[in-house]
Amino acid sequence: MKKRNKIILTITVILSFTVISFIGYGLRLMAIEDHYGVDQELYFKSRNGDIIVNRDFKEVGKLEKNWTRIQIINKGNNSDLLEWAYENKVEVYRPERNIENVSNLTFDEVEKLISIKDLKLIIKN
């Protein structure tokens, strides 16, 4: 194969990979926006291991993120963010230090951690 053909083939492969990557990233962003709508800020600002507090029902859960969804782990139960916090006020906190058994914390324990500033407020919805 001529050197010119190799260069053209390499450039074509790189450009194809770049275009496919941008399309995939755009589809991921669209899937997040379609699923969470105005609550997509919760997806982008939160991280795995963050603590989410539902003030209306006084519930606490641990966030687990995957490619396009957030799962809430609450005392061994898994549920999607929208099922868990549907039309309720939620707050996401990030622990300042390592906290054991985050998914088993009670609402009162979280309030105590907030008052002694062991949890940093990330987003309030």
**Is 18 inside a domain boundary?**
no
Whether 69 is in a domain gets the answer yes
Please work out, in degrees rounded to the nearest 5, the angle formed at the alpha carbon of residue 13 by the alpha carbons of 10 and 14.
Answer: 85
Instruction: Flag whether 15 is in a domain.
Output: no
Residue-wise pLDDT for 115-125, tens only, equals 888 888 888 87
Listed in sequence order, the residues at least 6 apart from 89 whose beta carbon sits closer than 8 Å to its beta carbon are: 54, 55, 56, 124, 125
Residue 13 has pLDDT above 80, yes or no: yes
**Residue bearing tokens 């907030």:** 114
Would the pLDDT of 1 be above 70? yes
In a domain, 66, yes or no: yes
Q: Is residue 22 part of a domain?
A: no
> What average pLDDT score do residues 11-37 get?
94
Residue 2, domain member (yes or no): no
- pTM listed for this prediction: 0.77
Can you tell me which residue has the tokens 């029902």?
Answer: 57
**Per-residue model confidence as pLDDT tens digits over 46-90:** 998 899 988 888 888 889 998 888 898 887 788 888 887 777 788
**pLDDT at res. 14:** 97
Residue 57 DSSP one-character state: T
Q: Quote the number of domains for the chain.
A: 1
The conformation of residue 103, written as its DSSP 8-state character, comes to: G
Structural domain contains residue 19: no
> Domain residues for 99?
38-124
